Structure 1
């Protein structure tokens, strides 16, 4: 059994370090030094890691900054044509993408997570594209951003057969056009798109094309329209507008109206009862000389024009043929002033003519934010685009409710002077706002930028015509194949329409249809979508009336048949007949 050392005797040193280790005082110092060294190592490692992470942040922030746009684009494109089943799946994956984006934004994860998200975004875009090609019909039209898709998809379909035209679509897609349309005055960062809009639709001024633009914009964004009561095509024109002319006002079916754009005789106080206070008011004018030639042709059936053999014949005998008390004769005299709510029976010989003219111009300037000019329609659309903070896709259109070219008549200088004298109030209004139009172009757009955007707008319109239209241009009504797209024919004018490209289907066909849908048909379509319950009741009532009419008709026929048979029996039984 080994002997234990005696108490009070120190342990024998095993090495030179052993005595130092055995000392309690030195042991405490040794532990403290170890702790300091560990802390220093940990700090050094953390510092290196932080430097590595910071070096990657510029790349990370750049990648992250692109993700919200990608998310918006994906969500927007998916709404074009996904069915309910695929839409739920898309929503789940989009939510996951949003979740990952928020996680990266908050904790600054490294490049691997960004790459993962970019991969997820790409796959989601691919799913969206596949879903678009399979969709045949949607209850909701989504035009915003979809014209680019329409052109690109049409290019892909035609590319194998028309390789020589490949550059027509690939080098100038609508998406590329839209990236270059902003200027220093109106950009997405400096303005917000306006959705509360009042458009005074004037007569024979290309206003039907603007109506189509507003209809497409509002429908694609599910905005509400101040539509005429009981499916009328106009807001009870030529009466002064009243708020109860709008469907949904008296019944309070609509809580907020976004766009008012149907024909009316303007009354600002009544319009203000319907539309929000921040509404943007605009209208369009046309040179009264050219407009008079169009009106004479289109409204040839009104009393003032019926007996006139020509426009000159009417102008030479205007006060004999023009009777203010007869219905619709207002079309024949100062129609622009009439539409804006002013007295149209004003001539240069009126005592207070200058005062009335100045009051009319001042009233229009006070009530309207923008007045466009029909002779410069494309320039007007660029100006409207900037004023509303919209895109080129939003304001592109085809000519609607337009006459055939062979029906247009050149006006001699003598006839032009007669028109200016007859419609002198319209002429003064037009001259004034023709000047202010170019002032607004210079201040909001700039001439050089205007030229650039004009070429872009016309190129986009040409591409859409090539994509949507069978013939690439308007045709006479007798040549329109789809009767649902045939424009209303009135008076002596031949109003042209369009034929769709037969290769179109699904969402592409729907977008192109909206571009060429005539005013009456489009108004009816929007009314049906906005007031489905009322339309259903109207249809039911129509069926009941038709059924009752059929019963009455059948009863009347049966009565005639019984009466005829009775007469025949009477003849056979009467011996005196023979």
Structure 2
């Protein structure tokens, strides 16, 4: 330890040095302050970068989320590289994100034809197309940014105007949809009451027979009343516009209250509202028009306009050239989705008023229906329906009904797909719009992760029921159906599959399995006899 005398001796030079430095700094004060500020800024930047680097290492895979921000300069460069004509009228990047939700969701199409054909469906570039037929900006972006195979045709052959019909009213209505953060019960489920007043517009060749079976089972198990066709008919006098008198017991109010209406009809809201209560929930289902047209051509091969053609391409070539009028049963051949919704279907891609009529069609459907499901994503649709109706998973479990065998399916070639979209241009635009709003609703009401979990649970429940109920575990050729009462109706060139049940001793389980496989016509007759006992034609 230094003595006080020694410490004082060493401090003197330091004091002299400090004084010299102080005088030197004072003489150069302005420039030094600038250097000092720059030095402090550099140190701060280095500390910040070091902190961020360490944080990124801790975050691991989650840090990849930040990399998404790097896409935006890339997207901008791509946008700037496109022809201005292609960019005109396209949607914002936010709308593009919404339309691509279905791609980012790791789903499996329920239609095997769709999943097989998707990689082959590429835009035709052999000749110039009209504005309505151009490849969409969505398709171009996905082609450049993502080489994964498409899971649905709607993104591989999308017209430029995809998303055009997402009006401000639509966006507002979707944004106001209930979400999982709504008032919750103790179990964490959304607090709501199951809906029992329901109208399902049963569209053609869209897996609607399976939904009909779901509604039949739900209503029958709760003693609900169905709005069944008069005189034991199987349809509500389709293709005529629906009328109140078509429902058994509606005229004269022999039936005081109807709960569910779900048989085929040509929709007209004013007449349906005469039968169903004001609080009724309206929903329907769509299918990709290309795949749907192939199914319709096979199933309704006996209608005049199809019977005259030797192939679907032959029919489409003649129709596009001659603008075939859709009269009598020929309505199946042209924009049948629009027709089922009560809209005029005499429009093609060459019609000058196509875009305006498409907007009006979408607006009318949105006005009258609270929910539109998509056949290609049937399990996801059932989960969305479950949440919307406040039903249970058991309520939406199903076995496919009125489904064709693989051997009777003939996937359309890309050139045929283009013809179908031009011929059924109105259906195509309706489908594109509601495919986008479907995934928006999935995100806002449930969330994609929750949907995945519930879809897995639904499939697990179906597999368990199939093992219990079904002999050989699945559908069989109609000739192999042992119980003649359960044989499905056969139409056209289609081969509609059926089921055989395992021998079950438990009566309750046997009845449950029986209802799951009962075809549409047989189940309708059963309900008619139960609802109107002793009635004779």
Q: TM-score, normalised by structure 2?
A: 0.64
Q: 1:323, CA displacement in angstroms? A: 4.5
Conserved 8 A contact 1:468-1:501 = yes
Conserved 8 A contact 1:205-1:284 = yes
Alignment correspondent of 2:245:
244
Provide the rounded CA distance (Å) in 2 between the counterparts of 1:288 and 1:504. Answer: 44
Alignment correspondent of 1:151:
none
Alignment correspondent of 1:95:
none
Give runs of aligned pairs for residues 197-208 of structure 1, distance below 5 A: 197-208=198-209
Provide the rounded CA distance (Å) in 2 between the counterparts of 1:322 and 1:476. Answer: 38
* Greater radius of gyration (CA): 1
Conserved 8 A contact 1:333-1:423 = yes
Conserved 8 A contact 2:481-2:499 = yes
Provide the rounded CA distance (Å) in 1 between the counterparts of 2:325 and 2:412. Answer: 26
Alignment correspondent of 2:487:
486
Q: 1:351, CA displacement in angstroms? A: 2.7
Q: Does 1:354 align with 2:335?
A: no
- SS for the counterpart of 2:433 is helix
Conserved 8 A contact 2:180-2:190 = no
Q: 1:213, CA displacement in angstroms? A: 0.3
Q: Does 1:331 align with 2:310?
A: no
1:146-191: CA deviation from partner (whole Å, max 9, x where unpaired): xxxxxxxxxxxxxxxxxxxxxxxxxxxxxxxxxxxx9544765611
Alignment correspondent of 1:417:
418
1:451-504: CA deviation from partner (whole Å, max 9, x where unpaired): 100100000000000011011100011000001111111111110000011134
Alignment correspondent of 1:445:
446
Conserved 8 A contact 1:295-1:331 = yes
Provide the rounded CA distance (Å) in 1 between the counterparts of 2:460 and 2:439. Answer: 23
Alignment correspondent of 1:365:
366
Conserved 8 A contact 1:303-1:326 = no
- Number of aligned residue pairs: give it: 355
Provide the rounded CA distance (Å) in 2 between the counterparts of 1:291 and 1:526. Answer: 29
Conserved 8 A contact 1:201-1:262 = yes
- SS for the counterpart of 1:328 is helix
Give runs of aligned pairs for residues 77-226 of structure 1, distance below 5 A: 184-185=181-182, 190-226=191-227
Give runs of aligned pairs for residues 533-548 of structure 1, distance below 5 A: 533-534=534-535, 537-538=536-537
- SS for the counterpart of 1:371 is strand
Alignment correspondent of 2:455:
454
1:534-556: CA deviation from partner (whole Å, max 9, x where unpaired): 2xx44xxxxxxxxxxxxxxxxxx
Give runs of aligned pairs for residues 517-532 of structure 1, distance below 5 A: 517-532=518-533
Conserved 8 A contact 1:314-1:321 = no
- SS for the counterpart of 1:253 is coil
Provide the rounded CA distance (Å) in 1 between the counterparts of 2:484 and 2:321. Answer: 41
Provide the rounded CA distance (Å) in 2 between the counterparts of 1:237 and 1:382. Answer: 29
Q: 1:251, CA displacement in angstroms? A: 3.8
Provide the rounded CA distance (Å) in 2 between the counterparts of 1:350 and 1:325. Answer: 15
Instruction: Could you tell me which runs of 5 or more consecutive residues in structure 1 were left unpaired when the two chains were aligned.
Output: 1-181, 539-578
Structure 1 stretch displaced more, 405-414 or 503-512: 503-512
Provide the rounded CA distance (Å) in 1 between the counterparts of 2:451 and 2:351. Answer: 41
Conserved 8 A contact 2:326-2:334 = no
With over 3 angstroms needed to count, the CA separation of the structure-2 counterparts of 1:331 and 1:452, relative to structure 1, is same
Provide the rounded CA distance (Å) in 2 between the counterparts of 1:325 and 1:419. Answer: 15
Provide the rounded CA distance (Å) in 2 between the counterparts of 1:450 and 1:467. Answer: 26
Alignment correspondent of 1:404:
405
Provide the rounded CA distance (Å) in 2 between the counterparts of 1:356 and 1:272. Answer: 25
CA RMSD of the aligned region, Å?
A: 1.6
Q: TM-score, normalised by structure 1?
A: 0.60
1:437-460: CA deviation from partner (whole Å, max 9, x where unpaired): 000000111011011001000000
More helix by share: 1
1:334-373: CA deviation from partner (whole Å, max 9, x where unpaired): 0000000000011222232211110000000010000000
Conserved 8 A contact 1:468-1:504 = no
- SS for the counterpart of 2:343 is coil
Provide the rounded CA distance (Å) in 1 between the counterparts of 2:359 and 2:215. Answer: 31
Structure of greater relative contact order (alpha carbons < 8 Å, 6+ residues apart): 2
Alignment correspondent of 1:235:
236
Alignment correspondent of 2:265:
264
Q: 1:519, CA displacement in angstroms? A: 0.2
Q: 1:318, CA displacement in angstroms? A: 1.6
- SS for the counterpart of 1:532 is coil
1:72-116: CA deviation from partner (whole Å, max 9, x where unpaired): xxxxxxxxxxxxxxxxxxxxxxxxxxxxxxxxxxxxxxxxxxxxx
Provide the rounded CA distance (Å) in 2 between the counterparts of 1:183 and 1:509. Answer: 36
Conserved 8 A contact 1:323-1:329 = no
